[in-house]
Structures are given as structure tokens and as C-alpha cells.
């Protein structure tokens, strides 16, 4: 029963991300522009912005889900870092980060980086535990070193998110995947 539920979750997750990708693509098409939807997705209200960060975000989530979401910890780490870590960093950073900016990147805050680390770590440990408890993922041991490795990868990805070059919507999950491939396997 739990394997079937996990399969349903995996397929639903994949199709939801495909739907988001197609929706974001249509938003930029001048024929289909919906100003309210663009305003909800973009920070500036510009339809062109939707085809940058948000589109990259959805494409990376789609790839991670399609390629290796529940088969190994690399995909779980990449998705957790990007979805929970980066998402919380943005929310907490905007709310609590006005007075604690990093000295080398004034658009990022210490509060956001802490939220990134905590969110990423809690998400990857939660997803991993859920998949193991439902017999969808087999790993030798959930104790000690694995939790520490999750925390280390979360911290490193939080610092990668601070790099002012490129787009963190691809740099963070790529970093998580590379570190996950080398540290977790």
C-alpha cells in the first residue's frame, strides 16, 4: 500500500511540475498574458521575469522529480535545498533580514541564510524519513552520520545561494546534487 501511495505521489508531483512549466511558458506568450498571475509569480510584475527565475525553478524541479526524486538521496537533497531552503531564505530574509545583510552581498541576509539551512535540513530529513518509513527508499542507516551530512550540504548550499553571480535557482540544486553524489553515496 505504501509503495503504491509513493508511486502516486511521484507521478502527481511530476505532472504538477510539468503543469507549472507549461503555465509559466504561456504567461510570457503575449496572447495568454494574465497580469494577476504574473503579479503573483514575479516580484516586479513584469511577465519577462517569469521566464527567468521562476521558470528555471520549475524546470529544475521537473528534472529532479523525473530523474531521481525517490530513487536516491541526491534528488531529495536537491529538491529540499531549492524548494524549502531557497524559499524560506527569501521569505525570512525579506521579513527579518533588513538589518543583518552580509558584508559581501547586500541583497542577502544572515537571517535568510539561517532560514535556508534550517528549511533545507528539515525538509530533507523529513522527506527521507517519510520515504524510508513507507518502504519507498532503502538506506542502510538513518542515524548519526547521515543527518550530519544533510546538515553539511544544507550549510554549503546556503553559502552558494549567497554568490551574487548566476541564478540560485540552478546553482543551489546543482551544488546539492554534486555534494549529495560525493558525500551521500
Residues 6+ apart with CB under 8 A from 130: none
Residue 157: the pLDDT is 96
User: Which of 25-29, 129-133, 157-161 has the least mean pLDDT?
Assistant: 25-29
In angstroms, rounded to a whole number, what is the distance separating the alpha carbons of residues 20 and 10?
15
pTM of the model: 0.74
The residue ranges of every structural domain in the chain are 1-68, 70-185
Report whether 27 contacts 55 (CB < 8 A). no
Mean pLDDT of 96-104: 90
Query: What's the rounded mean pLDDT across residues 81-106?
Result: 89
Tell me the Ramachandran region of residue 30: left when phi exceeds 0, alpha when psi lies from -120 to 50, beta otherwise: alpha
pLDDT in tens, 139-178: 766 566 888 999 999 999 999 999 988 888 888 988 999 9
Contact assessment for residue 86 and residue 168, using Cβ atoms and an 8 Å cutoff:
yes
pLDDT, greater one: 22 or 177 = 177
Amino acid at each position: 500500500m505504501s509503495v503504491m501511495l509513493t508511486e502516486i505521489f511521484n507521478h502527481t508531483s511530476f505532472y504538477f511540475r510539468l503543469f507549472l512549466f507549461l503555465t509559466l511558458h504561456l504567461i510570457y506568450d503575449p496572447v495568454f498574458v494574465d497580469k494577476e498571475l504574473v503579479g503573483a509569480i514575479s516580484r516586479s510584475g513584469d511577465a519577462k521575469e517569469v521566464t527567468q527565475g521562476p521558470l528555471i525553478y520549475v524546470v529544475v524541479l521537473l528534472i529532479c522529480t523525473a530523474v531521481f526524486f525517490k530513487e536516491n538521496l541526491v534528488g531529495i537533497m536537491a529538491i529540499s535545498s531549492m524548494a524549502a531552503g531557497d524559499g524560506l531564505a527569501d521569505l525570512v530574509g525579506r521579513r527579518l533580514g533588513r538589518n543583518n545583510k552580509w558584508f559581501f552581498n547586500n541583497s542577502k541576509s544572515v537571517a535568510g541564510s539561517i532560514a535556508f539551512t534550517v528549511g533545507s535540513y528539515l525538509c530533507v530529513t523529513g522527506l527521507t524519513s517519510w520515504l524510508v518509513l513507507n518502504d519507498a527508499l532503502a538506506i542502510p542507516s538513518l542515524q548519526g552520520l547521515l543527518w550530519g551530512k544533510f546538515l553539511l550540504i544544507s550549510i554549503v548550499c546556503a553559502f552558494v545561494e549567497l554568490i551574487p553571480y548566476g541564478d540560485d535557482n540552478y546553482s543551489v540544486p546543482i551544488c546539492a546534487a554534486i555534494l549529495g553524489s560525493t558525500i551521500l553515496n
